[in-house]
A and B are shown apart, each in its own frame.
Chain A
Amino acid sequence: MSAANSNIRDYPGFRLLTLVFFLWLYLPIAVVIYYSFNDNRLVSVWTGFSTKWYASALENAALMSALRVSLTVAVIATIFATAIALVSALVLTRAQGLKFRRVSETVVNLPLLLPEIVLAVAVLILFSQIGLQNGMVRLVLAHTAFCTPFAFMPIRARLQGMPMDFEEAARDLYAAPLTVFRRVTLPMIMPGLFAGAMTAFVISMDDFITSNMLNSGGATTLPVYIFSLIRQGTTPELNAVSTLLIAASLVLATIVIVLNARAMRREG
């Protein structure tokens, strides 16, 4: 290791700091997973390995109902958000001499720029003013809005990275506009579309602030329900649910990240 310090690009301590950083980054996740297999009712007292908390979590009707709400909202919001993001991205990247391009792009990305608590308050007041009572509809509308930019970004990136040549070649080969889209544009942006939809889904599933603000009977999402459990105190069952959520998130994230990396490599 005598050579380590001779490389002028190395800085002493950076390696250790990075190592500690990554440990710190994964410590909480590891802790939750570890304790989810704890036999003891007390979270911090380890008495043996058990999967009973998973069983009890899966039997918890309120929990399952919250999961159902979350999944329903996430699926519908993802479909809407991805569709809206797709048509917006098509126009914003492909239309020539478009007016209001900058403004439109900002509008699509607006939920990313503003604090979520403000947006949550805003939709809450709106829905109460127009008398929209249905909890699911309220959630779907709000989630669609803040999921749209997350679906939009990878789709737009993909469209921007795809030269117009391919679509022109298709038109040149007698493909009508819809055929061009179906047979060339869509298959070529599929990874971006998929990544966008997955991101939107994860964002919707994870949301707490807006869902909590709009929380009403029959429309309690999983994060909001978990929050109420946390308020009652930490339990191993909570760890089991969290572990399942972590696993789901990490799998989806890995798919999205790998897809993005592969797409970038192909272009690069």
Chain B
Amino acid sequence: MSKAFRFWGLVPAWALMLLTLIVPILIVAAVSVAERGAYGGFTWGFDLTSYRQILFTEGWTDELEFDPAYLIIIGRTLAYAAGATLISLLLALPVSYFISLQSARMKLILVYLVTLPFWVSMIVRVYAWLIILGNDGLAERAFRLFGGWDVPGFLFTPGAMLTGMVYSYIPLMILPVYASVEKLDPALIEASHDLYGSRWTAMRRVILPLASPGLMAGSILVFVPCLGTVLEPMLLGGGKQLMMGTLIQNQFGGARNWPFGSAIAMLLLAMVIGVLILNARRALARQTEVAP
């Protein structure tokens, strides 16, 4: 490989990412400390108002009052992301384990079936749940038919949002969990039984620990995009239950407060990077533990 190609081959990627990603994020950081101007504009400067606004509102007489409104949104974002991750995890382990027990051909087909819906446009997938959970939709009618009772409506509930989020991201949990469960040597489970362990001992003390790298990787893969999710809260949550993604979206849409939107975006970015760094450090610690 020639020296010139070694250099020029990477230039397009660097140029693209610098231009459309790295520099723009630096600009967002700059805008987040800019002053909000009239009519949604801003003027450059160094002003922490936008960050202060996350915790405080200005009262009538310019004094700062603690206002938890945005803190609640941040908390809700974390709670929903954690909830969706937990549900995905609880579903993914048995499903992945069951798939891993099938014949080679069946495994291939089932893994294909897990990934397939993931390719369908996000908007279509969320829309589909809108139909199912909507007024007089499939879910309500099923409850009326089998349960014999009327439900007040599923749409715009936390359940609807969680359903949409889990549906959107669960393949990202199943694939890594399956990858680690599939490698599991059946003899280990037999050994556990041989040593007088029950099925649940085997699950708790053999399968779970060995699947934990996959569970951890899957949790990150689900948790991170859930933090920035936009469509589910807007459509399934009805736009009332704001999350950080929709809050940012609003600041650049109707509300037109770019500095505040940028501040929230920086906060979200910091949270995601924080999660990634924690995960990288955990993985590193694990590696050094294993190394002699």
A and B touch in the complex (CB under 8 A): yes
Q: Please give the residue numbers on chain A whose beta carbons come within 8 Å of chain B beta carbons, in ascending order.
A: 8-11, 13-15, 17-18, 21-22, 24-29, 31-32, 35, 43-44, 83-85, 87-88, 90-92, 94-96, 98, 104, 107-108, 110-111, 113-119, 121-126, 129, 141-142, 144-145, 148, 177, 202, 205-206, 208-209, 212-213, 223, 226-227, 230, 234, 238-239, 242, 245-246, 249-250, 252-254, 257, 261
Residue from A11, A177, A213, A250 within 8 A of B199 (CB atoms): A11
Q: Which residue of B lies closest to A26 (CB)?
A: B117
The A-contacting residues of B in range 89-143, CB under 8 angstroms, are 91, 94-95, 97-99, 101, 108, 110, 112-125, 127-132, 134, 136-138, 141
**In the complex, chain B residues 51-93 whose Cβ is within 8 Å of any chain A Cβ:** 91
Q: Which of B146-154, B208-216, B262-270 contacts A (4 or more CB under 8 A)?
A: B262-270
Instruction: Beyond A18-B94, A122-B28, list 13 extra A-B contacts (CB 8 Å).
Output: A9-B189, A17-B98, A27-B132, A31-B131, A32-B124, A84-B16, A96-B1, A114-B269, A118-B265, A121-B248, A206-B122, A246-B124, A252-B119
B183 interface contact, C-beta 8 A: no
B142 → A minimal CB distance (Å)? 11
Most chain B beta-carbon contacts within 10 A, residue among A118, A177, A238 = A118
In the bound complex, do residue A122 and residue B25 qualify as a contact, i.e. CB atoms below 8 Å apart?
Answer: yes
Nearest B residue to A209 via CB reads B230
23 contacts between A and B (CB under 8 A): A8-B190, A17-B94, A18-B99, A28-B117, A28-B125, A28-B129, A28-B167, A44-B131, A44-B134, A108-B13, A113-B272, A115-B227, A115-B269, A117-B248, A118-B268, A121-B252, A122-B21, A148-B13, A202-B119, A205-B121, A226-B127, A249-B119, A250-B116
Cβ-defined contact, A145 with B16, below 8 A: yes
Residue on B nearest A88 in the bound complex, by CB: B13
A226 and B115 form a contact (CB under 8 A):
no
Residues of A within 8 A of B22 (CB): 107, 110
The secondary structure that dominates the A interface is helix
Q: Is the CB of B268 within 8 A of A115?
A: yes
- In the bound assembly, the distance between CA atoms of A100 and B264 in angstroms comes to 32
Which residues of B from 237 to 292 have beta carbons under 8 Å from A?
A: 245, 248-249, 252, 258, 261-262, 265, 268-269, 272-273, 276
Residues of B contacting A9 with CB < 8 Å? 101, 186, 189
